[in-house]
Structure 1
Amino acid sequence: MGRLTGTALLLVLLTAVSPAAAVDGLPVERARLESGARLFEAHCVGCHVNGGNVIRRGRTLKQAALEKAGLADPEAIARIAAAGIGQMSGYGAVLGEEGAAQVGEWVWLQARSGWPRPAQMEPLP
């Protein structure tokens, strides 16, 4: 499989982790995750590729690192995305309140999923 774009990867991820969302009639949840993924790609991926950190290696978005830092839930991640922490500036002005929450939800989902890479993903049917 070739390299997936962010949007294609998102669709593969959403199909893999939330196949019941459409069946259960939860398009809002899927839309929130899609929005969070797009916002992450636009504003965060430059430093946090695959949940890593190109500036400070120990400050990743991997589940163990988030838990160690006391950021083990979407709300805590959203607060950091909006206000910043340490060397990281806050992005609240560009994300907006709802956008920061969506990024927090998407990052937490990715962290709990081990930040799957395209080679680990199943293609869409």
Structure 2
Amino acid sequence: MNNWNIKRLNGLAIALFLAFLLYSSPAIAAPTTAGAQLFEVHCAGCHANGGNIIRRGKNLKQKALQRNGVDTLAAVTEIVTNGKNNMSAFRDRLSPEEIETVAAYVLNRASENWKN
């Protein structure tokens, strides 16, 4: 095996190792778990499975988030923090970190169409 192939294999091994660390790290899994727990306690009553029991068009599905201009972390965080129309504000109930965690969870689930 020549020197170039060895360097390529080493680079591939490092990339695989980093991917393993990224996807198996408890530190990465924790926000998703925390986001799911926060969502279940504070949001699922109105937004079960990304829906909306009050206003159907204001659900948490990807298309609706895009259509309503709420498809970024900053936008979701803003609405969770300050509320909007029928949506209650959570700034007095959740910390800024918790709000960002649940907002990231919502965007992640929306990107997966709220499927397990």
Scaled by the length of structure 2, the TM-score of the pair is 0.77
Displacement after TM superposition at 1:22 (Å): 6.3
**1:28 paired to 2:27:** yes
Q: 1:22, 1:95 → 2: CA distance? A: 32
CA distance in 1, matches of 2:111, 2:89: 23
Residue aligning to 1:53: 52
Secondary structure of residue in 1 paired with 2:65:
helix
1:36-64 deviation line (CA, Å, top 9, x unaligned): 11111000000001000000111000000
User: Equivalents in 1 of 2:80, 2:42: separation in Å?
Assistant: 10
Give 1:33 deviation, angstroms: 1.4
Greater relative contact order: 1 or 2 (C-alpha under 8 angstroms, separation 6 or more)? 1
**Gap regions ≥5 residues in structure 2:** 1-17
RMSD: 1.8
| Matched length | 98
Post-superposition offset of 1:26: 3.9
1:112 Cα offset (Å): 0.3
Distance in 2 separating the partners of 1:59 and 1:39: 20
User: How many percent of aligned residue pairs carry the same amino acid?
Assistant: 39
Instruction: State the structure with more CA Rg.
Output: 2
Superposed structure 1 runs of 4+ greater than 4 Å apart: none
Q: Measure, in 2, the Cα distance between the counterparts of 1:64 and 1:32.
A: 24
**What is the rounded CA distance, in whole Å, between the counterparts of 2:67 and 2:25 in structure 1?**
32
1:75-94 mapped onto 2 (5 Å cutoff) = 75-94=74-93
